[in-house]
């Protein structure tokens, strides 16, 4: 690879047991980190969950997933969650709490850290797929085998975890007060 600062060629550089790329001219080290992402488990008043079918040009095309995406620079994870649900399903459904945090290491090389939020939807807007989602729907989770094929095993885990907590009456979510800090 070439340096993002000066364009010179980079070379292998081992630091703390991790192999990185360092610029041969300016010495800039190119750190690689997982991408910060959000996913949202949106549940309606019937207890159904919101899933979207992925566009053929996305990774894992034609499979279904929870609304999810990258957190943009300058955006809080809660704003990202609100935006992704709006973009992918056309509805406004603020998050109520954190249900899980997942590290994903996908076989296409993408590493992500996903804050998974729970959102109880109380509106009656019509679903409207958008962004890289071509179809959206509400799905019963009474029988997991009736769900459409899921793109991410992490989503399956999250849905199962939610279902189990509901059945056991042990819903544990981290609430969101003070979770977005501006300034210092
Ligand atoms: Zn450089």
Q: What CATH number did the domain enclosing 26 receive? A: 2.20.70
Q: Report the separation in Å between the CA atom of 11 and the middle of ligand 1, taken as the mean of its atom positions.
A: 11
Express as a percent the part of the chain with pLDDT over 70.
97
Can you give the length of the chain in residues?
A: 184
Let me know: does 38 contact 117? Beta carbons within 8 Å: yes
The boundaries of the domain holding residue 26 are 1-32
pLDDT of 48 higher than 90: yes
pLDDT of 59 higher than 90: no
88 is catalytic: no
- Same domain, residue pair 92 and 134: yes
Q: Report the separation in Å between the CA atom of 34 and the middle of ligand 1, taken as the mean of its atom positions.
A: 22
- Same domain, residue pair 61 and 8: no
Assess if residue 174 is contained within a domain. no
- Same domain, residue pair 50 and 140: yes
Position 5 scores a pLDDT of 95
Assess if residue 181 is contained within a domain. no
- Same domain, residue pair 22 and 113: no
Position 23 scores a pLDDT of 96
Confidence of residue 139 (pLDDT cuts 50, 70, 90): very high
For residue 8 the two structure tokens come to 């010179």
Average pLDDT over residues 119-134: 94
Assess if residue 177 is contained within a domain. no
Express as a percent the part of the chain with pLDDT over 90.
78
- Same domain, residue pair 63 and 95: yes
- Same domain, residue pair 52 and 20: no
Tally of domains within the chain:
2
- Same domain, residue pair 79 and 95: yes
In the set 14, 135, 142, 177, the catalytic residue is 135
Give Cα 149 distance to the centre of its chain: 18
Which uninterrupted H or E stretch holds 116?
strand 111-120
pLDDT of 178 higher than 90: no
Q: Report the separation in Å between the CA atom of 23 and the middle of ligand 1, taken as the mean of its atom positions.
A: 5
- Same domain, residue pair 58 and 114: yes
Q: Report the separation in Å between the CA atom of 43 and the middle of ligand 1, taken as the mean of its atom positions.
A: 48
Supply the CATH number for residue 74's domain: 3.90.79.10
Position 15 scores a pLDDT of 87
- Same domain, residue pair 49 and 24: no
For residue 20 the two structure tokens come to 């990185």
Assess if residue 119 is contained within a domain. yes
- Same domain, residue pair 71 and 93: yes
- Same domain, residue pair 40 and 28: no
Let me know: does 130 contact 88? Beta carbons within 8 Å: yes
Average pLDDT over residues 96-112: 88
- Same domain, residue pair 9 and 74: no
């Amino acid at each position: 690879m070439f340096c993002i600062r000066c364009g010179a060629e980079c070379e292998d550089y081992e630091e703390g047991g991790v192999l990185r790329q360092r610029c041969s001219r300016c010495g800039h080290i190119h750190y690689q980190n997982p991408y910060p992402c959000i996913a949202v488990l949106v549940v309606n008043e019937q207890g159904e969950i919101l899933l979207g079918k992925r566009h053929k040009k996305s990774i894992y095309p034609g499979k279904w997933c929870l609304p999810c995406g990258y957190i943009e620079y300058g955006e809080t994870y809660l704003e990202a969650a609100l935006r992704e649900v709006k973009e992918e399903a056309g509805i406004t459904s603020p998050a109520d709490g954190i249900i899980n945090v997942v590290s994903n290491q996908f076989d296409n090389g993408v590493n992500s850290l996903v804050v998974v939020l729970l959102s109880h939807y109380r509106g009656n807007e019509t679903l409207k797929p958008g962004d890289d989602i071509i179809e959206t729907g509400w799905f019963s989770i009474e029988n997991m085998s009736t769900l459409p094929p899921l793109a991410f095993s992490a989503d399956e885990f999250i849905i199962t975890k939610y279902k189990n907590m509901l059945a056991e009456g042990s819903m544990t979510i981290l609430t969101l007060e003070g979770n977005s800090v501006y300034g210092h």
